Structure 1
Amino acid sequence: MTPPLPAAGTETAAGNLILDHYDRLPTVVAACVADPAARPDAEGFRPAFAFPEPDAATRSFFAAATARWQPLGEYGGHPLTLLDLTGNPATGTTKTFASLLIVARAVEHIRRTGTPVMLFTPTSGNKGTALRDAVLRALEAGLADPRELRITTLAPLSSRSKMRRSRLSTDSELQALNPLLLLDAARPEEVKTLARAFADAYAQAWARETGGRLWFSLELENYLVADAARAFFEHRSDPCDGGPRRLHAHAVSSAFGLLGYHAGRTVLEESGESAPHSRPASFLVQHLHTPDMVLNWKFGSFDRANLPRYTEDPATGLRVQHDDPVFPHAVHRLDEVLDPTFYTHRPATSPAMNDLIARFGGGGIVVSLQECLQRYPLIAGQLADTGARLPDDPRTLTEWSLVMAMTGVLNGIDRGLVDEGPIVVHGTGSYADTDYEAVGEADFHVVRSVEDVAAAVWKR
């Protein structure tokens, strides 16, 4: 077991979220995965929850899985800490960790069976970017051959600005083997339906024609295993077994990250390393385009009719309300998309998250672009000495997860929505358009149907 770091609530700690806890993976898999065995058949394929031995090449592959525990001072009497999960410059988001483990499983399957694997994933942007980066890292580390390990990514056309160029785009052979598809559809989350339909319709044909397997990788268990390590990292960096209960704040779409964190806490508690009574509370932060998890937590329903009534402020033109502190006080549009990353309606994870909040405390809040912009100078100052430093101009920000979470915390404190005690903000994503080169017209295929997807995937 990796030795604990000195516990100091005012000190920064850093580590590798995967390698530092690699020996815990079997325990986490046993706790989080109902059936860890491989499903080798073409239809419904997935590799086993087995990972490569941590040799030099594997350690190089996982080197991007960095995390930092960064105190931010106090606000309203609450000590604030940033759990910075944005340290991989090729992604800028927490999706790095699960993506590395997903690709590592594919690598181990290829090594054990000699069967090529084509990952197939729908994404709002960040998950796809991270999986493409993980595939490229595996190829560059020599863990697999380009024709053994491949990925097809399906994102909404509205997320084009989030999709990054890499060698999977600029190398003609790699681009052909790893197609990037953008769906032209009215609702961004239709990528999930289309991706599932393609996998169901063509998995067996893919196996017959290529000898490989098509892996539809969008499963909660794939993410729980990686995100459990957040709890282990916290326990090493700054254990929370004494004092007021901590609150963990997270900008969420389906709350995979918080569910994974709680899975890690369960492992710590069952091993006797941490006490159940010290389990932190959870605070969900969302935007008005998809406030579903907050609505479901507060009202037991996803019905938008439960949103407060907004009226137009004639002095500003903004929509305003002051009846319910859980929802924005001022907003440009009631359906505004603050960040297309958060696109999931009626997430199936809501009941599990509601249960955790009922058991351990917490709540939720919805924020608007107007509120984020009002808070931006203060948040930028709070993050100035961290690895998640914000750009001076918020118009260049293309990933708002961290700003959303920080705004939700500050608003929650000011509106009395959080109990006394320290707050940990999960820094799950932050990047600006100056941090990467977005894909160009020649880098992707626009699709509208299962047949379009098939034509693009088989074009090589």
Structure 2
Amino acid sequence: MTPHRRAVLDNAIAHYYDRIQSALDHVREHGKGGDGTPEQRLPQLDGATQEFFSVSGLSSTLLGTHHGVRLVLLDLMRNPGTRTTKTFASLVIVARAVRHIRGTGERLMLLTPSSANKATALRDAVLRAVDAGLVTRDQLRIACVVPEESVAKVWHSRLAADPGLRERNPVVVHDGPGAAVKALAQEGAETCAEELRRVAGVRIWHTLDLDNYRAADTVRAFYEAEFLPAPDGRVRWHAHAVSSAFGLFGHHLGVRLLAAEPGARDDPPGYLLVQHLRTPDMVQDLRSGSTPPPYRRHPVSGLFVQSADPAFPAAAFDPRESIDPTFYTERPATAPRMSALIREQGGGGIVVSLHECLGRYAQVRALVARADVQLPADPRTLREWSLVMVVTGTLLAVERGLVRADEVVLHGSGSYDADDYTPLPSEDVRPAGQLATLADVLHKAAGVQDT
């Protein structure tokens, strides 16, 4: 791959359809099972289904080298209706729902907590399935529970503009701490599932489980093997801005499945985790639970500074700042598993500050432009910071000697600005601070009031 040359794959899910089904089979065989969720099976790949998956493109571009380390951008943001990697898993989840509905005649309501991007992507996939004629608006619905601090990141679409679709597909806003939406959604699913199935004939599918995401994200590894094979002897890491690292677990599963094929190489890559100061839990777990270093306010700049630990920002506006509410998960259950994986295969972690991201913004913008990814000239209009975080973190990690690899593949998992979308109007969201309110919304979405 020559510098700045791109390799583009349109409709990656259709391209790797059989492989993704094999990944789903693997997840089913090795998962918990018995939770009543739809089977890990995809529908037949006909013309309508191909069109449904058509937004699952991805591409890669060699950006050049930084202090001798090659940097490759893996663009996972090519769906114009979401601009995030959540498209891949959302399409596979909805496709499984389609197969279940067709096979059983049972109606489904997806229920998901989300900091925003997962909600946007699942809503986009549900609308695509309805528009493609794979299901009707009565057969498949979705309810999302989103923290108040990030609801402005949920994209408006016909799922909200159409009154009938809006009633069936509510976005619920919770005014508590960001991570509280997970507990509320889980409680809602457990409390309402039996009654909604009995009274309205609607099954609730709580989609948050890691296994619902890993199989879809294997497309990253399959694409890598076909379009970005690492030369023998070259050490490769994959960098990702993470909250719970679902995407990297999917990539790892794909790498494992490829390594099991006859004659395949077994040379797993390392992983570089990038986080921010508000929730650095995965980086801390990787470092045996170490706490952030103490910061002091610089007498001249006013910044909070430290020089003791290169894995944490040298300077920050606030030692507990949040760059983006997307990264809201505290003490993720996946952290020990990812730490063990990195200790086995190689990799590391770094925490970045908003000050560092702003200081590198022009450099990052110029770099990703080589991959035909456009960042706004004014960073104040940016609404999704994942891409800027991962590039900034990788540049800093290389400079600080934290990267022990010849090349880093940067997973561009999300980037959009104020001009890319319209937020949901306030009248199109439903406040729910407690279970009783959420249950009422779910009953109305299922059409219980009409029965």
> Cα offset for 1:356?
1.5
> Cα offset for 1:237?
0.4
> Cα offset for 1:319?
0.4
* Aligned counterparts of 1:381 and 1:243: Cα–Cα separation in 2: 30
Aligned length: 444
> Cα offset for 1:36?
7.3
Contact 1:86 1:388 in 2 (8 A): no
Contact 1:45 1:213 in 2 (8 A): no
In structure 2, the CA distance between the partners of 1:35 and 1:145, relative to structure 1 (3 Å rule), is: farther
Note the aligned Cα RMSD (angstroms): 1.5
The answer for the alignment partner of 1:28 in structure 2 is 23
* Aligned counterparts of 2:227 and 2:373: Cα–Cα separation in 1: 18
* Aligned counterparts of 1:9 and 1:230: Cα–Cα separation in 2: 20
Does residue 12 (structure 1) correspond to residue 19 (structure 2)? The answer is no
Q: 1:183 aligns with which of 174, 184, 190?
A: 174
The answer for the alignment partner of 2:353 in structure 1 is 368
- After superposing the two structures, state which structure 1 stretch, 385-394 or 420-429, moved more: 385-394
Q: 2:235 aligns with which of 232, 238, 245?
A: 245
* Aligned counterparts of 1:273 and 1:393: Cα–Cα separation in 2: 49
The answer for the alignment partner of 1:286 in structure 2 is 275
> Cα offset for 1:457?
2.1
Q: 1:121 aligns with which of 112, 115, 127?
A: 112
Task: Report the 3-state secondary structure (helix = DSSP H, G, I; strand = E; otherwise coil) of the residue aligned with 1:49.
Answer: coil
Instruction: Give the TM-score normalised by the residue count of structure 2.
Output: 0.96
Q: 1:84 aligns with which of 66, 71, 75?
A: 75
> Cα offset for 1:273?
5.4
The answer for the alignment partner of 1:166 in structure 2 is 157
The answer for the alignment partner of 2:333 in structure 1 is 348
Matches within 5 A, 1:144-159: 144-159=135-150
> Cα offset for 1:217?
0.7
> Cα offset for 1:274?
3.5
In structure 1, stretches of 5+ residues that fail to align are 1-6
Q: Which amino acid aligns with 1:169?
A: A
- After superposing the two structures, state which structure 1 stretch, 425-434 or 415-424, moved more: 415-424
Task: Report the 3-state secondary structure (helix = DSSP H, G, I; strand = E; otherwise coil) of the residue aligned with 2:54.
Answer: helix
Does residue 258 (structure 1) correspond to residue 252 (structure 2)? The answer is no
> Cα offset for 1:228?
1.1
> Cα offset for 1:454?
1.4
Contact 1:282 1:361 in 2 (8 A): yes
* Aligned counterparts of 2:58 and 2:152: Cα–Cα separation in 1: 25
The answer for the alignment partner of 1:69 in structure 2 is 60
* Aligned counterparts of 2:36 and 2:383: Cα–Cα separation in 1: 34
Matches within 5 A, 1:35-434: 44-185=35-176, 187-272=177-262, 274-276=264-266, 278-298=267-287, 300-301=288-289, 306-434=291-419
Task: Report the 3-state secondary structure (helix = DSSP H, G, I; strand = E; otherwise coil) of the residue aligned with 2:419.
Answer: helix
* Aligned counterparts of 2:175 and 2:334: Cα–Cα separation in 1: 27
- After superposing the two structures, state which structure 1 stretch, 215-224 or 237-246, moved more: 237-246
> Cα offset for 1:45?
3.0
* Aligned counterparts of 2:36 and 2:115: Cα–Cα separation in 1: 23
In structure 2, stretches of 5+ residues that fail to align are 446-451
Identical positions, percent: 45
Contact 2:360 2:392 in 1 (8 A): yes
* Aligned counterparts of 1:235 and 1:227: Cα–Cα separation in 2: 14
In structure 2, the CA distance between the partners of 1:391 and 1:10, relative to structure 1 (3 Å rule), is: closer
